């Protein structure tokens, strides 16, 4: 067996360092349990009824917090399926072709039957040289994980994992339950925190735990509320963090609302159709992560006009009837020339009124 080189040692050291934020949160959570359950509830509270109510509510929030945090950390990010990987012959052809139109022609042929709507800023097929695959919509390469991640939102150091399609719901619940956890601690600890400054507490070590517990809970509540509110806004718009900073590019141009289906449908994209699972860290998101329904309509009047063939009545995503089949079963018209796309939309329009949505066009052709 070959000895490990300096590069391998550095990678191992980085992996260990990446766990430091997770260890910090775990230690902080363990101390907060001791400070609240033992020092505050059992030692400092004199009313038995108050003790019981606080301990039951606290342990419920604590369990949901730990469960969602655990799922966010240890749920592996999903990678593109094998159909997005190039064949051996296509890889050889790409290596022989210089960067340019010939290179793109190889990628266009390989992506002809893939459900791809987005492109690069220059209008080219989104291709990952590192993973040697055609990127599905909303997929990005993570430099930390060194992999392409489906519907990548961001790489979070506090969970030492990529937040994407497979664990985004868990991440949202982690933010929600951690915020509720901190708010609950701050609210129930407030009266004892005031007693600390008015010398109303006995002179024991519990008083210092009570003081620092309130400061920590209040401080994290402020930061978590802003972060959770931001991600709630992203869910309502069906955006990822990356898409909020750089809008996805479609054939007709940049469209920041390209994946927005309306508030209700956007919520179900993340939390699923069964509401009984919404508050539980159990995977229930819709789709396979490789293809997503899209209206392909500009709703922002400041953006360029809609592509030819789209009716003005289709600008409201709530009125769209999206295909029931997975989009991967439909041919992507973004990889063909604009003339054939317009002709197909025109022919379908003669048979059925209102079928101007490219997603519906693809569905009816199949």
pLDDT given at position 119: 93
Residue 235 dihedral angles phi and psi, to the nearest 5°:
-65, -40
Sign of CA dihedral 155, 160, 162, 167: negative
| Strand 140-142, strand 147-149: pairing | antiparallel
pLDDT given at position 219: 96
Q: Are 255 and 248 in contact (CB under 8 A)?
A: yes
85: exposed, middle or buried (C-beta count within 10 Å: 0-12, 13-18, 19+)? Answer: middle
CA distance 36 to 358: 56
Taking CA atoms, 74 is separated from 93, 124, 130, 138, in Å, by 38, 35, 24, 22
Residue among 54, 131, 156, 290 flagged as catalytic = 156
pLDDT given at position 205: 81
Q: Are 357 and 341 in contact (CB under 8 A)?
A: no
Sign of CA dihedral 146, 150, 153, 158: negative
pLDDT given at position 126: 95
Element (H, E) at 149: strand 147-149
pLDDT given at position 237: 95
End-to-end Cα separation, the chain, in angstroms: 54
Query: 51 is written with which tokens?
Result: 């003790």
Rg (CA), the chain: 26
Ranges of residues in the chain with a pLDDT under 70 are: 1-7, 296-366
Sign of CA dihedral 119, 125, 128, 133: positive
pLDDT given at position 206: 84
Which DSSP letter does residue 324 get?
S
pLDDT given at position 5: 64
Is 131 annotated in the active site?
no
Report the interhelical angle of 20-33 vs 48-74 (nearest 10°): 170
pLDDT given at position 9: 83
pLDDT given at position 194: 87
Domain range annotation of the chain: 15-78+160-277, 82-135
pLDDT given at position 301: 38
Q: Give the global pTM.
A: 0.78
């Amino acid at each position: 067996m070959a000895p490990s080189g300096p590069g391998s040692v550095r990678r191992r050291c980085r992996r260990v360092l990446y766990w430091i934020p997770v260890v910090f949160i775990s230690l902080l959570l363990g101390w907060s349990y001791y400070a609240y359950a033992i020092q505050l509830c059992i030692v400092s509270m004199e009313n038995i009824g108050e003790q019981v109510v606080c301990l039951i509510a606290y342990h419920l929030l604590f369990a949901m917090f730990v469960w969602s945090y655990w799922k966010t950390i240890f749920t592996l990010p999903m990678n593109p399926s094998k159909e997005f990987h190039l064949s051996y012959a296509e890889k050889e052809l790409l290596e022989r072709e210089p960067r340019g139109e010939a290179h793109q022609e190889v990628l266009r042929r390989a992506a002809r039957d893939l459900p791809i709507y987005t492109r690069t800023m220059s209008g080219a097929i989104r291709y990952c040289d590192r993973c040697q695959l055609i990127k599905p919509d909303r997929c990005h390469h993570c430099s930390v994980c060194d992999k392409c991640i489906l519907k990548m939102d961001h790489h979070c150091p506090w969970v030492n994992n990529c937040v994407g399609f497979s664990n985004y719901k868990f991440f949202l619940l982690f933010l929600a339950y951690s915020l509720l956890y901190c708010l609950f601690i701050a609210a129930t600890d407030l009266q004892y925190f005031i007693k600390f400054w008015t010398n109303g507490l006995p002179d024991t070590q519990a008083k210092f735990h009570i003081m620092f517990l309130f400061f920590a809970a209040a401080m994290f509540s402020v930061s978590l509320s802003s972060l959770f509110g931001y991600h709630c806004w992203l869910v309502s718009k069906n955006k990822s963090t990356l898409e909020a900073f750089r809008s996805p590019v479609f054939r007709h141009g940049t469209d920041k609302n390209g994946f927005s289906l309306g508030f209700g449908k956007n919520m179900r994209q993340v939390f699923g159709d069964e509401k009984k699972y919404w508050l539980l860290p159990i995977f229930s998101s819709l789709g396979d992560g490789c293809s997503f329904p899209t209206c392909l309509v500009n709703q922002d009047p400041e953006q360029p006009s809609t592509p030819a063939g789209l009716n003005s009545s289709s600008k409201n995503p709530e009125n769209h009837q999206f295909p029931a089949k997975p989009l991967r079963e439909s041919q992507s018209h973004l990889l063909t020339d604009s003339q054939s796309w317009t002709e197909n939309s025109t022919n379908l329009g003669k048979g059925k009124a209102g079928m101007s949505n490219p997603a519906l066009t693809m569905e009816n052709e199949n």
